[in-house]
Structures are given as structure tokens and as C-alpha cells.
Structure 1
Amino acid sequence: MRFEFCLPMLGKAVPAGAEWFHEVKYDGYRLRVERDGDRVRLITKGGYDWTRRFPWIVEAALKNREQHFVIDGEAVILGVDGISDFDALHSGKHNTEVQLCAFDVLATGGDDLRALPLSMRKANLERLLRGRPDGIFINPFETGAIGPDLFRAACSMGLEELVSKRSDRPYRGGRSKNWLKVKNRSHPAIVRVKEAFA
């Protein structure tokens, strides 16, 4: 099976319909964890293999009872406040502390799950990671009308953005209108992007 990341489109407002799931976006590196028996690979959005870079994620993947799976998530370092610390991550000095914030599962046990709706993939992810060791954790989500309130709360906590996803849609590679990201305009990530293009 070949995998391509699903990428959110930029939205102006958080949708409030019942069919939407809402997740706080952790500030980190997008990463796909692919386990095939005793082999684990960590693949970035740019297609790089970062398996050697983040040993805690690899260790957690190998300790899972399931021998074959593909998880989509974000490599992060969490501060004592539970908020991701991008500067610590980017420095490369704390690679042994990097863990995966998992938000989707694309395959388990040799079965391709991408055609399933997100709600069913979330249930599969919960089963896959239930009671597992630290190193990979599930990104919590909220449903429906709470989205705009959750976004305001995320901004007040200094978080990067909110990603809203249609719960009834399959996983498709490339840009998708079924995944929308709404950015916190005062977050340091916005400043980093502006400086990169200055």
C-alpha cells in the first residue's frame, strides 16, 4: 500500500455542523508511523525517513500488540503545561523526548482503512492504542457546535490552530475540503511563516 498525507485547506471560520470533528493542532512535525512486523518507519510530509531521529515513537510502535499498522499524527514535545514546545522540538536537542500525537489510522492488520469514514477510523485508532505505553497518544476531539467555542479557548491558551474534519468522509491524499484549519493569528507559528517569506 502507498500512502499520501491528507492536507487541510485553510478556513476562515470553524464550522459548527454536527458532522464535524474538531481537534486542537499541536505545533510539531507531521509524521506517518508505518509498522510492518519488526520494522518501523517514520515518514515526514516531505517524504523523509526520520526513524532514527525519534526513538521513543519507534519504541512505542514496536511495543504495540498489532504487528501491522499505519498511523497519521504530529511529532511533538510537550511542556509541563501539556502544550507543545516547537522551539524545543526544532532544536533537535531533545529528540528522545519526542512523542507522536496520533489523530488518524490508515491501516491495521494489513487492512486499508482509508475508505472508512473518519468516525470509524477514530474508533479503530482508539482500539489500537488502548492501554499502550507512552510515546504515542491520541489527540482528543470535540464534535459539532462546540467548534467555534473550542477555537476561542485554544487561542486564549496560546495554541496554534484548530483543525475541523468531516466525520463521515474517507481519508484522501492531498488537499481536502473535508479537513479545514483555522489559525490563531497571534501564535508564534504565524510569525515564523511571515519571517520566512520576508
Structure 2
Amino acid sequence: MRNGSGDGRLHFIEPLMPTLVDKSPEGDAWIHEVKFDGYRSQIIIDEAGARIFTRRGLDWTAKYRDLAAAAKTLDVENAIIDGEIIVLNDKGLSDYAELRKAITRRQHDLYFVAFDLLHLNGHDLRDMALEERREILAAILPSDIRIQFSQDLPGDPKAIYHLVDQAGLEGMVSKRRDSKYRSGPSTSWLKAKCYTIGEFELLGVEREAGKPAFALMGEIGTREYVGSAFINSSRAIRERLWKRVQEHAGPAPKGMKRPATQWVKPGLIGRVKHLRGEEDLRHASLQDFREED
């Protein structure tokens, strides 16, 4: 964690990554938090000042000048804080699309939501229980700066998930109260994401004997590929879809090579259910389709 040169600087720690699950765990052994739609980041405070790193360890302090300045005001000698950088939309929800704009144009709108503390004042806290680490973290964060504590969500996990979904949030993260912090993929933290429905342009249909059929989807207008969606619609919709695909057969989009795919001309719009808060389609299914107006 510390630099061997003895200059008092702390090293970036690879983050613990939660496992995606269909539903959140039950029982008192878990705490539950909002899954924010932003950039996973890490604040390091040491003798060199305050630095902010991306999930992959890139130093983005220059991009987050205001948040780095806020970190310098914390009453600590040194610390490593795990969290998420977000920006809020007009509904008060974290907004991934607006985040990209805010980084370059609206630094003052950025927040760092802190949810774990890995190091404090010369002590490595990763072997402590999560609940204890979070208690210490909450105590060192004032309420009037843009570094905010991620509060636990009280109540039954099913009820919490329902409220999170209804609010339009990305999902929830459940964490074992007694868990130690270990870098890399972990089942001590579990994330359950909410679904949303959006429209995308149908690029083609991939069909192979003995395998499920998938619709390849792109952004409307640009036809930029965003992922595939499992075709689990009714038989009538599947038959109507395949008929339209054959009628609208066209060349493959530039740069795409999928031998088992029947490509289509622009003009077919698919209604896709997919995980909320992802850059590309994940766990997606085609619900229906229409011809472009």
C-alpha cells in the first residue's frame, strides 16, 4: 500500500467488485445500499495532497479538481476512500449520461458518494468488518461538502428493491456486515440491478440451429452496435419479426462480421428490456418491434 521510497505516499488499491445476482439476499447479516449510476473511484489522501483514481487505477485528479479540493478539507492525516463519482439530474437521481458532460463542463455538480474506508491515519482497515469500517467513515465525513456517505437502506430487501426500481435508480448493493475488504470479484458484495425498457434500431437477427435467436441492436440514427437481445417474445411476434427481417434484408453494418446473422436495412425499431445503468445492453430481451415512423 505504501510506496517503498519512504515519501509517505499511499498506493491505489484494486477495488472489490460485487457479483451480479437476480435478487438481493435476505437476513440480518447484510446491509443494503443504493447502486449509484456513476464512475467507481478511489480518493487517496496523503502527504502529497489528495488524488482521485478511476476503477482501473488511472489518476484522474485533474479531471476532478473540485472533489480533490474537497478531499483536502477532511480532518485526516491520510486515508483511502472507496466510492462512486456521480452527478444528479433534475429529478435528483444519479445520471450516467450527464456525468460525462459534468466532468468537462460542470465540475461543481459532481459528488463523491463514499461507501468504504480502506486506510486511515497510518492504519490498514481492510481486515476490519465492513460495518466497523463504515462507522469510522461516516464519522470523518462532514455533511456540508460534496463527499457524502452512502447510507444504509433500512427494511426488507424486496421492499427496498421495489422502491429503488420505482424511483428509477440503477439498483441496490448488498454487503455482508462482517466482511473484510478483498480486491477483485467477491460474493461478499452482491448487486441486484433494475430493468428498464428502451428502443433501439434492429441491425439483424442471429440464428443458429439448436441455439436461441438474438436480435442485434444499435443506437437509433447512428446504428452503432450496443449489444444483443434474446428474442423471447410470443411465437406470433417471432414469426412476424422473421418475415420483416427477410423483407428488409440488407448489408452488414460497417465493421461487423457475424456469419449466422441476417442483416436488415434501417427502419426496424425494437423495444428492448435491459439492465438499467449499463453503457451497452446487458441481460436484454426483445419485447416487440415496429417500423420506424
1:53-77 CA distances to partner (integer Å, 9 max, x unpaired)? 1122111110111120110000011
Task: Provide runs of 4+ in structure 1 moved above 4 Å.
Answer: none
Cα distance in 2 for partners of 1:185, 1:125 equals 31
Match of 2:156 in 1: 146
For 1:22-37, list aligned pairs within 5 A: 22-37=32-47
Pair 1:83 & 2:93 matched:
yes
RMSD: 1.8
Kept in 2: contact 1:35–1:41 (CA 8 A): yes
Kept in 2: contact 1:78–1:85 (CA 8 A): yes
For 1:146-165, list aligned pairs within 5 A: 146-165=156-175
Corresponding residue to 1:118 among 126, 130, 134: 130
Cα distance in 2 for partners of 1:185, 1:132 equals 32
Cα distance in 2 for partners of 1:52, 1:153 equals 36
Match of 2:73 in 1: 63
Match of 2:22 in 1: 12
2:126 maps to amino acid: R
More deviation, 164-173/81-90:
81-90
More deviation, 151-160/181-190:
181-190
Higher RCO, 1 vs 2 (CA within 8 Å, ≥6 residues apart) = 1
Larger gyration radius, structure 1 or structure 2: 2
Kept in 2: contact 1:100–1:137 (CA 8 A): yes
1:14-51 CA distances to partner (integer Å, 9 max, x unpaired)? 11110101001111000000000351111111221110
Identity of aligned residues (%): 32
Give, in angstroms, the shift of residue 148 of structure 1. 1.6
Match of 1:189 in 2: 277
Corresponding residue to 1:134 among 139, 145, 163: 145
3-state DSSP class of the match of 2:156? helix
Alignment TM-score, normalising by the size of structure 1: 0.91
Cα distance in 2 for partners of 1:109, 1:82 equals 34
For 1:174-185, list aligned pairs within 5 A: 174-185=184-195
Alignment TM-score, normalising by the size of structure 2: 0.62
Kept in 2: contact 1:60–1:133 (CA 8 A): no
Q: How many residues align?
A: 193
Cα distance in 2 for partners of 1:149, 1:78 equals 24
2:45 maps to amino acid: R
User: Is there any run of 5+ residues in structure 2 with no aligned partner, and where?
Assistant: 2-10, 197-274, 283-293
Cα distance in 2 for partners of 1:133, 1:112 equals 27
Match of 2:199 in 1: none
Kept in 2: contact 1:38–1:67 (CA 8 A): no
3-state DSSP class of the match of 1:181? strand
User: Is there any run of 5+ residues in structure 1 with no aligned partner, and where?
Assistant: none
Give, in angstroms, the shift of residue 142 of structure 1. 2.6
3-state DSSP class of the match of 1:194? coil
3-state DSSP class of the match of 1:125? helix
Pair 1:107 & 2:194 matched:
no
Cα distance in 2 for partners of 1:132, 1:158 equals 25
More deviation, 17-26/85-94:
85-94
Cα distance in 1 for partners of 2:164, 2:35 equals 9
